[in-house]
Amino acid sequence: MTFFAKLSTQQRTGAVILGCLALFAVAEMLLFSIDGNQQFLAQAFASPDWQAPLGRDQFGRNMFARLAGGLRISFTLSLICVVTSALLGVLAGVAAAWRGGWFDNLLNFFANTILALPGLVLILVFAAVVPGSFVMIYLAISLVIWVEYFRLVRAIALNQVASPALQSSMLMGFGKFYLFRRHIWPALKADVFSLAAFGAATSVVAMSSVGFVYVGLKPPTPELGLMIVELFPYYHEAPWLLLEPISLLFLIVLGFHLLAGKSR
Amino acid sequence: MKRILLNRLLQAILMMWSVGTLTFILVRLLPGDMAYKIAAGRYGDDAVSTAAANAVSAELGLDKPAFQQYLHWLWDLLSLDLGNSLVSGAPIIVELQNQLSFTLVLAGCAIVVAALIAFPLGMFCGVKADSGWDRASLTMSTFVRSQPVFCLGLLLIFLFAMELKWFPVAGYGGVPYAILPVLTLAISLAAVSSRVVRNSTRTAVKSAWFEFSRIKGLSSRRAFVRHALPNILLPALAFMGIQLIGLIEGVIMIESLFAWPGIGHGLSHAVFARDIPMLQGTALVMGFLFVLINALVDVSYYLLDPRQQEVQS
Amino acid sequence: MKRIEVTNLTIHSSEGVIINNLSLSVSENESLTILGETGSGKSLLALAILGNLPPMLTVSGSVKVDGKEMLEMPASEAASLWGTTLVMLPQEPWRALSPLMKIKHQIAEVFRYVKRATPATASEDTHQLLAKVGLEQHAQKVPAQLSGGMAQRTAIACSAATGADIVLADEPTKGLDTARKDDIIALLKARKTKGCLLTITHDVQVAKALGGKTLVMQRGVVVESGDAEKICSQPDSAYARALINAAPENWPLREKSATTFSPLITVKNLTLTRGNQTLLEQVSLEIGAGEVVGLYGDSGSGKSSLADALLGLLPVSGEILFHQPLARHEKLKLYQDPPSAFCEEATLRTLLHDIIKLHKLSPPPLDKLALELGLSPGLLDRTATEVSGGELQRIALLRAMLLKPKFLVADEPTSRLDPITAEKVTRLLATKARAMNCTLLFISHDIHQLNNICDRVMDITSL
């Protein structure tokens, strides 16, 4: 509760939006668990009714279920990507700043290799290696976010390691763990959180971009980007259908951006 | 300055190596029937045979030991022998040349239009910080940034191509076809850069040195042009390096959405069709463009910022 | 006619009164110095005279420049006086110069655009002006390449170029070394031949050197006024007396003790380089156990680096020998900027307890120790950001004392503090060090401060 209290209004709005979306995604699974892949061709483009509150798509599949499924995919992916990248990124960044020397050079080399290509290009190439694989996309996106973490954490840690406060504590005999806890981590906290929210937004956008060009998760998986590209040809017949995944994608990315706080 | 160029050269080499290695792994993972499918794609379903599939396999060198293949692959890469497309059969280099001009037109126009939007808007909002205009601009910017760029493109297509019917939906063939792609990309870039310009402007106008330039007696317009402007433009230039990522990623998505036949379109289709030589070629071009423009930005920044030259000496 | 006339000026903010019923005047060819510590509202007075007060303040009274009322004047009209009638020297000149423009252009543009000279004349005049302030060799530099003193001289040149004869100088020597201060004061006095000068400062030495009419301000109220000579030698008000006495050159002289000290640290042929620069070459010195040694030198002369080397924080070539083996925590340092030496988040008491736990000390009476240093014990329950600089520096001393150090380096510990607080902290430091029989290395650019409390003073340039 105190965590929520510390957020700014902007951040709270973001948290609320994300909370509602997550609630929708989880509630659908727990309370209804409708199969979003089951086709009812006779009911293609059906208008909303009690069974399918958000209508049915071109194959008569329940949009309510599909959208919830899509959100679950997006949330799961962003969560695991961010947790992986954050943990490894903070570890690597602090270690590189503290140890310096060859260790720092090695990590920097690795980071520069990843940075030599724009993220999406890297992700597309990875996606091509095993098409339709969630694991490959997860790996690629995590790498891209990891680099951001590494660079930011390393810069902040370098600054802190050179600071009088840390030097003073070191002179007084404190060990590395104390120095991290009192001097380095407080300087990192806010940025790690902010980057986590941005990273989550990036993962969702990357996944949907890759889905949009048909090289992400394969149909009939209800991934949001894939849904958009599949529904695009039916714009005239059922415009609301296309707007549904677009709005959800917009809301989830907006939620994460707002949660991240003041722009860097 | 030598150090900057050397760094970027090293980065270009690293990029080539990583793209080359990744596509090599791709080739090794190509399952047998994929070679069959590619052969089918090339010769037609009826004309294909095991021999043809084997020929494709041999073409990609799948029958030799791994490490030897790897070295051979890297050697080809260094000598810029990029092979032929597995889908069309045409030499990659030729295809890339055709695509490159489309991409350069799109990217170039988008950068110019983005600057034409971002600078006046950003400076205006910076000078009138926290006013209604500023807040409106922030809202618009947040709205645009919270969409993947292809969603933005879709919205513009609905509005201008389908409802208002001002422009064609997709494809190429003259200036009207370029308007929506360029506009989409420009808006997505300007959404971020206008805020950066706004922040630099606000910092400049509130700074102690701006105040002193006015106290010395300079009029507000002259103080802005002589003092504030350089301090706004220079950080914007540095920001260009970061925007490049968005530019290249945007190019890929926009070209795919609007069927604009540039390198990005080539890349996504190559991934879809598993046309590995094409994939490698387009990824390489994207990487080169990225490193090259970054190098240009670095060098311009170095030449224009008098503080850098002090540090170097 | 009076050039500047302030009558019953009162300024409130939402937090309270900043200036209280202030009246003063400056006539043609006169110089007025306002002496007072930070928080006395002095800077706002300068802004009021310029007609550039920030909004959100409640202002009453009258401020007239050459007969024109500045308080109600619209911004554009006030701006038209800037550079023609009035000019103000900025408080922090290194921040007040445009970062990307060469200094000669920053001066030349005043000639070109404010005085409407031709480019050729402007260039010629700039060159002459740069020579007058001693900066001809640095004309092509950008502000980042200048020292504090050079930046201030550039600002003075810019304001001289305007030809405006009412000059306001807000803390013109803040942050400068003692030697640089003299240069600036000389330049300010040279301007006095026409127009008038209003100087705001907390430095008694500056007030004395400038001479002329002086007002002493405490918390927005004038407590004393008169001639500079008289105020600085025989002040009437208690506050003025405290201020004068706090200046190190006025401290009572210390009798040099005749004790000889057995050596604690012997340094032989020490050479220290940073990057491409050699800071110290073949330095040899000795520091005695229990001695209070002063280390004097200008900024950038390598004093801090020498101390860091003695503490084992910097790699050097040469020999540093400790005659008694000292544990890591027996060699400590006090920093120039107290807030940067503390973790910002935890309360001070928690940080002190961390030390007690780490070294398994028997819990000392923290509150009693705080009182001994003149601090209220309640301060310990705040975080470092909620405490003033002077108080925080004393808490840093308390923290160091917990570990009973044998060698303590104080690196310009009072440079960022107000004069009265600075005196308190300096004395406390010396007293406590001697009481603990701890060797103290006191680094400062103020020779008077060092001469007063140290057993011996080393000049870095003569090492």
Residue A46 binned pLDDT confidence (cut-offs 50, 70, 90): confident
Per the model's pLDDT, the better-predicted residue between A213 and B36 turns out to be A213
Q: Best interface-test mutation with C: which of A156, A178, A182, A183 has the largest number of C CBs within 10 A?
A: A182
C-chain residue closest to B233, CA distance: C100
The answer to whether the Cβ–Cβ distance between C142 and B215 falls below 8 Å is no
With contact defined as beta carbons under 8 Å apart, do A147 and A84 qualify?
A: no
pLDDT at B310 over 80: no
The answer to whether the Cβ–Cβ distance between C99 and B231 falls below 8 Å is yes
The answer to whether the Cβ–Cβ distance between B287 and A125 falls below 8 Å is no
CB pairs under 8 A between B and C: 81
The answer to whether the Cβ–Cβ distance between A167 and C313 falls below 8 Å is yes
pLDDT value of position B39: 66
Helix/strand/coil for B172 = coil
Helix/strand/coil for B115 = helix
- Tell whether B50 is within 8 A of chain C (Cβ): no
pLDDT value of position B102: 92
CB pairs under 8 A between A and B: 122
Amino acid at A120: L
Q: How far apart are CA B230 and CA B247, in angstroms?
A: 24
Kindly report the nearest CA distance between residue B173 and chain A, in angstroms.
22
Q: How far apart are CA C356 and CA C345, in angstroms?
A: 19
Q: How far apart are CA B215 and CA C149, in angstroms?
A: 20
pLDDT value of position A264: 43
Tell me how long chain C is.
463
pLDDT value of position A94: 94
Q: How far apart are CA C106 and CA C432, in angstroms?
A: 50
- The pLDDT > 90 percentage for chain A reads 51
Q: Please give the ipTM for the structure prediction.
A: 0.85
> Which positions 147-206 of A are in contact with C (Cβ < 8 Å)?
163-165, 167-169, 171-174, 178, 182-183, 186
pLDDT value of position B308: 65
Q: Which of A168, A178, A182 sits opposite C341 (nearest CB)?
A: A168
CA angle B259, B261, B266 (to 5 degrees): 100
Residue C419 binned pLDDT confidence (cut-offs 50, 70, 90): confident
Per the model's pLDDT, the better-predicted residue between C220 and A158 turns out to be A158
Q: How far is CA C398 from CA C71, C268, C285, C385, C438, in A?
A: 48, 33, 29, 17, 14
* Mean pLDDT, residues B44-57 taken together: 69
Closest to B108 in 3D by CA, of B181, B49, B39: B181
pLDDT at A252 over 80: yes
> H-type helices in B30-129, by residue range?
32-43, 50-59, 66-78, 92-127
* Mean pLDDT, residues C283-295 taken together: 89
pLDDT value of position C332: 94
pLDDT value of position A79: 95
pLDDT value of position B62: 60
Computed over every residue of chain B, the mean pLDDT equals 84
With contact defined as beta carbons under 8 Å apart, do B277 and B80 qualify?
A: no
Residue C79 binned pLDDT confidence (cut-offs 50, 70, 90): confident
- CA A218, A221, A225, A230 dihedral sign is positive
CB pairs under 8 A between A and C: 48
Q: How far apart are CA A81 and CA A138, in angstroms?
A: 6
pLDDT at B56 over 60: yes
pLDDT at B312 over 50: no
Q: How far apart are CA B154 and CA B149, in angstroms?
A: 9
Q: Quick: pLDDT tens for B258-284.
A: 999 999 999 988 888 878 888 888 988
Residue B37 binned pLDDT confidence (cut-offs 50, 70, 90): low
Please report all neighbours of B, defined by 3+ CB atom pairs within 8 A.
A, C
pLDDT at A217 over 80: yes
- Tell whether B212 is within 8 A of chain C (Cβ): yes
* Mean pLDDT, residues C229-250 taken together: 84
Q: Best interface-test mutation with A: which of B34, B143, B150 has the largest number of A CBs within 10 A?
A: B150
pLDDT at B194 over 90: yes
Phi first, then psi: what are they for C327, rounded to 5°? Answer: -70, 165
pLDDT at B28 over 90: no
- Tell whether B76 is within 8 A of chain C (Cβ): no
Q: Quick: pLDDT tens for C248-283.
A: 877 877 766 667 888 888 888 888 887 777 888 888
Q: How far apart are CA B83 and CA B76, in angstroms?
A: 8
Q: How far is CA B5 from CA B11, B235, B239, B284, B297, in A?
A: 10, 20, 19, 19, 11
Closest to B82 in 3D by CA, of B13, C338, B90: B90
pLDDT value of position A190: 86
The answer to whether the Cβ–Cβ distance between B218 and C83 falls below 8 Å is yes
Q: Which of C329, C344, C345 sits opposite A172 (nearest CB)?
A: C329
Residues of C within 8 A of B226 (CB-CB) are 98, 101, 109
Residues of C within 8 A of B313 (CB-CB) are none
Long-range contacts of B201-206 (CB under 8 A, 24+ apart): B201/B122, B201/B123, B201/B125, B201/B126, B201/B127, B201/B228, B201/B232, B202/B126, B202/B127, B202/B129, B204/B126, B204/B228, B204/B231, B204/B232, B205/B126, B205/B127, B205/B129
With contact defined as beta carbons under 8 Å apart, do C46 and C200 qualify?
A: yes
Residues whose CB is less than 8 angstroms from the CB of residue A127 and which lie 6 or more positions away in sequence, other chains included? A133, A136, A137, A140, A210, A215, A216, B271
Q: Quick: pLDDT tens for B115-159.
A: 999 999 999 999 988 889 999 999 999 999 988 999 999 988 888
pLDDT value of position A74: 93
* Mean pLDDT, residues B175-183 taken together: 88
Computed over every residue of chain A, the mean pLDDT equals 88
Lowest-confidence region among A230-244, B52-66, B83-97, B227-241: B52-66
Amino acid at A26: V
* Mean pLDDT, residues C130-156 taken together: 87
pLDDT at C80 over 60: yes
pLDDT value of position C217: 87
Lowest-confidence region among B62-76, B116-130, B210-224, B288-302: B62-76
The answer to whether the Cβ–Cβ distance between B148 and A254 falls below 8 Å is no
Please report all neighbours of C, defined by 3+ CB atom pairs within 8 A.
A, B
Computed over every residue of chain C, the mean pLDDT equals 87
pLDDT value of position C432: 92
